[in-house]
Amino acid sequence: MADRLAVVTGASTGLGYQLARLAAQDGHDLIICADEDEIHTAADKLRSLGAQVEATVVDLSSKAGVDTFWAAVDGRPVDLFCANAGRALGQAFADQDWPDVKRLIDLNILQTTTVLHRIGRQMHARGQGRILVTGSIVGYVPGPYDAVYDATKAYLNSLCYALQDEWEGSPVTLTCLMPGPTETPIFHREGNDLEDAPIAEQDKDDPVKVAERGYAAAMEGQRGVVPGLHNRAITALTGLVPETILARIHRMAAEPQ
């Protein structure tokens, strides 16, 4: 058993799996969760790296799911927490079904805030810990046809920077990973309604490289990281270009064809 424990949500595929892999290679044991059975396949791969891994299928958009998640953690001290679970939802806002919109908000905002509050309090009481939250560069951009998703990422980006200021000087660090479009299953996952958006077929960033950059930033205690020169250029433009133009640029990538 390792001396350090990492908890990673949304770890079955994509960035979550890559972050869990990096934590395992760095000597952490793991508690991982996702809302799909693929989490067990991911756990088997991670065990081959020498880590002890506990995997749970859990829907963090529900109170019952959050309760199950805490039961898996079981009060154990967490050295690294990666808040990565989240969903997207494409199509026009008026065409989306309300239960899907609510689930997106509950998962991306409510569960992340709930878990951050509890894990953060635990880490502060212990006097150590690192947190990595997966935000996004779309949190800087009005997002037609991804309106609610982009708004949830704006919330996470803002929450992270606010907490970083509150925790300045604390041994507990919080890093916000803000990637651009990354080659993960999010664009083709059933229920996300992103298949018809142009961005689904465009070249995207490598999840291995994005995760490596985010993990390194978390270990260094950096406040935020935007992987990729192109993505950093976009975030720089957000302070200079009117929101109406940014929204139109986003629309070109997100409007279903």
Distance CA 171, CA 198 (A): 43
Please confirm, yes or no, whether 149 is among the known catalytic residues.
yes
Nearby residues of 13 by Cβ (< 8 Å), 6 or more positions away = 34, 38, 42, 184, 185
Run of H or E including 132: strand 129-134
Dist CA 221 CA 175 (whole Å): 7
Q: Could you count the other beta carbons within 10 Å of the beta carbon of residue 63? A: 12
Which of 149, 155, 161, 215 is an active site residue? 149
* Cβ-proximal residues to 209 (8 Å cutoff; 6+ apart), any chain: 227
Measuring CA to CA, which residue among 73, 151, 176, 156 is closest to residue 112? 156
Q: Which residues are catalytic?
A: 149
